[in-house]
Amino acid sequence: MKAMSSGPFQLAFSYLKVQPHGGFFVVHASSRTWYMAGLQPKQFLEMLGFGPTTTGCQKFGEDCFYKVTHELPPGSELDFSWPRPADVAHASFDHLAANLGDLFERTRSIYSELAENVDMFPWAAQFTGGPRLLEADGLVGPSWIDEFKPAAHLEIERKIPELQEADRKYRQLEYVLWRTGEELEDAVQLLLTEMGVPCTKTVRGATVDLLGELPSRGLKFAFEVTGTSDAIKKGSKKLSQALTYLMETSDEAEKIVVIANAHNRIPPKDRPPAFTPEIAKLLKQNGITAVTTEQFYEEWLTNPEGPHEELFAHLHAHPGGVFESGFEQ
């Protein structure tokens, strides 16, 4: 991946191979600069046809805007004409990287001038000029500057570590609505712990992900956590692991629960059923209960301080299948 910078933008150039001897060239862009007013860098990227990624990228993660610029069709590797398609794509990216920062500043200036005549261009009012905010790594001054800081700034600095820790926790809790894999497992562990069921992670390769207990009632749980952009259906590896745990490991006092973050690319309110009828029936036959991450999250959100004992008591006593009634108590 080729990386460059241009003004407030960080850029990367990659080749996405999607078929034998063919693929697409993609420009990835991001910016950590934000202005108090006026045209913003990411607004400018969208104006140029860049779109936010839904899955993240290797260079900028989830803070990435991308644009497909050139296609390399099948058979082009045998095209010896000059210039070669790949050379054209690279030259276009180099030209963009050399000029994007300047184009942004000129466009920002033009939009600010238009905003001075809001009677004629009312839509431009949002682009009135404002001071540029420093990037995070430019905010630290010399040690003696503390003597000159206003009391309000010192109070903010005192609160920053606590606020950062709270922000980290809440962001991780929100992961239960959109992440997958180990990040989802860690987020569910945190959420269950916040709800009064401390959990420990099992060793890698175990047939369930988390073991927890409701201390006040001595109720034990085994949680298998799964995240997917689709419904939980036949052939799910996580479901097979839960069934294996039931047959080989679980004791009768331990409730097995499958927690699913299904359809995780869709807002929770728009998600279709997380479990297919076939899977719901299979789980019920085996006494395994199925719950969605948004069910737990919404329950916690209504009462972050708890308690949630009755909910988990209902969950433990549930006969199996999709768990719904306990969240309506």
Coil/strand/helix, residue 122: helix
- Indicate the pTM of the whole model: 0.60
Looking at domain 175-328, which CATH architecture does it have? 3-Layer(aba) Sandwich (3.40)
Query: Tell me, what's the pLDDT at 125?
Result: 65
At residue 217, the 3 state secondary structure works out as coil
Q: What's the confidence (pLDDT) of residue 70?
A: 84
Would you list the domain boundaries of the chain?
2-115, 136-174, 175-328
The number of C-alpha atoms within 13 Å of 38 and in the hemisphere containing its C-beta is 21
Q: Render each residue's pLDDT in the chain as its tens digit; 329 residues.
A: 788 899 999 999 988 876 666 788 899 999 988 877 778 899 899 999 999 887 778 888 888 999 998 887 665 555 555 557 778 888 999 999 999 999 999 988 888 777 777 677 777 666 665 444 445 554 567 889 889 999 998 998 899 889 989 999 999 999 999 999 999 999 999 999 999 999 999 988 889 999 999 999 999 999 999 999 999 998 889 999 999 999 987 677 899 999 999 999 999 999 999 999 999 999 999 999 999 999 999 999 999 988 899 999 999 999 999 998 555 43
The separation between the first and the last C-alpha atoms of the chain, rounded to the nearest angstrom, is 53
Q: What is the pLDDT of residue 327?
A: 56
Separation of alpha carbons 238 and 224, rounded Å:
7
Q: Which two tokens stand for residue 119?
A: 């009677």
Contacts of 107 (CB under 8 A, 6+ apart): 39, 44, 47
Supply the DSSP symbol for 108: H
Give the pLDDT confidence score for residue 329 in this predicted structure.
39
Q: What is the pLDDT of residue 23?
A: 83
pLDDT score, position 89:
87
| Three-state SS letters, 161-213 | HHHHHHHHHHHHHHHHHCCCHHHHHHHHHHHHHHCCCCEEECCCCCCCCEEEE
